């Protein structure tokens, strides 16, 4: 351990790493506060401070009289992959259900005219869904699709259908995505829908999805409150050796 | 009745964004007051306030009590598929990059570091903790760990200012870090981190853990960066067929064959 950080942060780091490394798995209990205090030779108060931080990050759950539980299975979302949210979560063994909060066709107006390079009067299909993972709300997703690109996009029930399957039905396929990942704070009514406190940190993933003809056919914002998710990114240097 | 009651604030948000664009509002310029905006956009103030809170929560705008609401500067967008060296990447995009060394010393590898670097616990490593600035904006506090045996005498270099760690490793030690993997989660700034970055304690931040690999696939660097979420975001270009194999389910990719 390095010496410059306060002890509680060092302990939080150590515990966080054990969780990320899979040493402590989802559903495991952490040792009691008293045991950790003895093991590391630190005070109860320090242990409690470290646990409070991890609880705020959503990595652990502390239940009165029952102990401290790990609340973070390793679900790693690879930012280099193009896949619908549903299939991604399902591949990780999470059962996904949806609630459509709104769906309908509207004029592009300024916002979507600019994004899709279409005219302000062009119709855009908009769909807002609350995503549940294993029955608990985990994300709010806003989709926008120009109707000219996917003519029958507005005709499906997106509680059951995925946008990807509807694209396939229109002989369209998403082959590339530009994704922007941010950490943002959410407020009501979004916070309430996601069952998190107002001002909570969530990942906001904004995607611009293109088809084979390099045509932008979907603009999506996902507010992801699921603390189980780690985003994974990788870089490779393909340049020549710098001088 | 629909559970979703926010469409009004969504459309107000669109109107505010349109206003900002079409009126050529520049970063740190004030937006019209809440009363003026409500009149201009013909909306009620409760919904307007909600839209403003949402935009502020996403750092598009910021509010200074008693002074009004201002346009935020755009976030620095890290192009993650090519971003390996912080200094070199941002410099190549035309930014001024500078670091302040907060600590640089030899340490014993802790559990996490020894696992990433595939060395025994307690092996000597250099710990380099730096404040990172882009265009004089402090964006991150980053701690790097490097195996001391790979780069003896590294501590004689001064990584404050504009010297790149990766360029030094490449030029002085023949170690080229050509691949990097990072994991991103959220955290909040501690008082110390906030003070160092001139930001608010408790501010939202990325918790970024990265591993850097050399030409031969051997792990060279383990780093942990706490990066301000109000000034920084990650961009990724994803394609149907990723060129690099996906990560292993466990957090410790074994790079040695």
Instruction: Tell me, yes or no, whether A242 lies in a domain.
Output: no
Q: Are residues B154 and B188 in the same domain?
A: yes
- Give yes or no: residues A35 and A127 share one domain: no
Number of Cβ atoms within 10 Å of the Cβ of A62: 16
φ, ψ (nearest 5 deg) of residue A115: -65, -50
Give the mean pLDDT of chain A.
85
Residues A55 and A84 in one domain: no
Place of tokens 């259900």: A97
Does residue A130 lie within any of the structural domains?
yes
The pLDDT value recorded for residue A238 is 59
Q: Of B59, B170, B235, which has the smallest distance from its Cβ to A242's Cβ? A: B170
Q: How far apart are CA A13 and CA A166, in angstroms?
A: 44
Residues B156 and B203 occupy one common structural domain: yes
A78/B contact by beta carbon, under 8 A: yes
> Would an 8 Å CB–CB cutoff place A28 in contact with chain B?
no
Same domain, A105 and A200: yes
How does pLDDT run along chain B (257 residues), one tens digit per residue? 355 556 678 889 999 999 999 999 999 999 999 999 999 999 999 889 999 999 999 999 999 988 999 999 999 999 888 888 888 889 989 999 999 999 999 999 887 788 788 888 889 999 999 999 999 999 999 999 999 999 999 999 999 999 999 999 999 999 999 998 888 888 899 999 999 999 989 999 999 989 999 988 889 999 999 999 999 999 998 877 544 454 444 443 333 32
- Asked if the Cβ–Cβ distance from A182 to B233 is below 8 Å, we say yes
What residue numbers bound the domain in which A85 lies?
75-232
Residue B202 inside a domain? The answer is yes
| Range(s) of the domain holding residue B18 | 7-71
User: So what's the pLDDT on residue B132?
Assistant: 96
- Are A57 and A164 within one domain? no
Task: Note if the bond before B93 is cis, omega within 30 degrees.
Answer: no
Q: What is the pLDDT of residue B251?
A: 42
Q: Which residue of chain B is at minimal alpha-carbon distance from A130?
A: B4
Number of domains in chain B: 2
Q: Which residues of chain A have pLDDT under 70?
A: 1-4, 20-22, 72-75, 82-87, 92, 227-228, 238-243
If asked whether residues B93 and B193 sit together in one domain, one would say yes
Residues A96 and A57 in one domain: no
Do A125 and A183 fall within a single domain?
yes
Find the CATH number of the domain harbouring A62: 1.10.10.10
Tokens of B77: 């967008």
Integer Cα distance of B128 and B110 in angstroms: 14
Provide the number of structural domains found in chain A: 2
A213 in the same domain as A96: yes
Q: Does A186 reach chain B within 8 Å, measured CB to CB?
A: yes
Whether B56 and B94 share a structural domain = no
ipTM computed for the complex: 0.89
**Residue B244 located in a structural domain:** no
């Amino acid at each position: 351990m390095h010496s410059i950080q306060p002890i509680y942060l060092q302990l939080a780091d150590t515990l966080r790493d054990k969780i990320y490394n899979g040493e402590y798995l989802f559903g495991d209990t952490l040792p009691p506060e008293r045991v950790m205090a003895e093991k590391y030779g630190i005070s109860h108060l320090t242990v409690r401070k470290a646990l409070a931080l991890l609880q705020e990050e959503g990595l652990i759950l502390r239940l009165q009289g029952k102990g401290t539980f790990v609340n973070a299975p390793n679900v790693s979302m690879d930012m280099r992959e193009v896949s619908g949210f549903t299939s991604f979560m399902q591949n990780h063994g999470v059962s996904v259900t949806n609630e459509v909060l709104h769906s309908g066709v509207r004029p592009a107006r300024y916002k979507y005219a600019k994004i899709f390079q279409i005219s302000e009067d062009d119709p855009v299909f908009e769909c807002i869904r609350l995503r549940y993972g294993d029955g608990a709300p985990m994300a709010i997703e806003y989709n926008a699709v120009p109707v000219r690109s996917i003519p029958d996009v507005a005709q499906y029930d997106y509680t059951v259908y995925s946008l990807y399957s509807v694209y396939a039905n229109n002989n369209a396929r998403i082959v590339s995505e530009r994704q922007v990942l941010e950490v943002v704070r959410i407020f009501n009514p979004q916070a309430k829908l996601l069952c998190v406190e107002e001002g909570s940190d969530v990942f906001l993933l904004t995607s611009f999805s293109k088809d084979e003809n390099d045509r932008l056919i979907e603009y999506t914002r996902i507010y992801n409150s699921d603390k189980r998710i780690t985003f994974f990114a990788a870089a490779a240097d393909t340049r020549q050796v710098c001088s | 009745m629909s559970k979703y009651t926010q469409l009004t604030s969504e459309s107000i948000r669109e109107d505010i964004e349109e206003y900002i664009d079409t009126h050529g509002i520049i970063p740190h310029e004030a937006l019209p007051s809440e009363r003026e905006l409500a009149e201009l956009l013909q909306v009620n103030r409760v919904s307007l306030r909600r839209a403003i809170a949402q935009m502020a929560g996403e750092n598009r705008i910021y509010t200074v009590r008693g002074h009004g609401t201002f346009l935020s500067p755009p976030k620095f967008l890290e192009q993650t598929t090519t971003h390996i060296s912080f200094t070199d990447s941002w410099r190549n995009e035309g930014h001024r990059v500078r670091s302040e060394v907060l600590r640089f010393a030899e340490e014993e590898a802790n559990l996490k570091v020894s696992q990433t670097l595939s060395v025994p616990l307690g092996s000597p490593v250099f710990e380099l903790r730096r404040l990172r600035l882009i265009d004089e904006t402090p964006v991150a506090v980053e701690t790097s760990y490097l195996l001391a045996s790979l780069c003896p005498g590294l501590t004689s270099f001064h990584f404050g200012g504009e010297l790149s760690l990766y360029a030094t490793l490449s030029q002085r030690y023949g170690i080229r870090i050509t691949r990097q993997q990072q994991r991103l989660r959220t955290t909040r700034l501690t008082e110390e981190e906030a003070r160092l970055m001139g930001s608010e304690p408790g501010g939202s931040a990325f918790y970024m853990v990265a591993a850097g690999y050399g030409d031969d696939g051997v792990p060279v660097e383990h780093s942990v960066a706490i990066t301000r979420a109000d000034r920084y975001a990650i961009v990724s270009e994803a394609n149907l067929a990723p060129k690099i194999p996906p990560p292993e389910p466990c957090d410790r990719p074994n790079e040695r064959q």
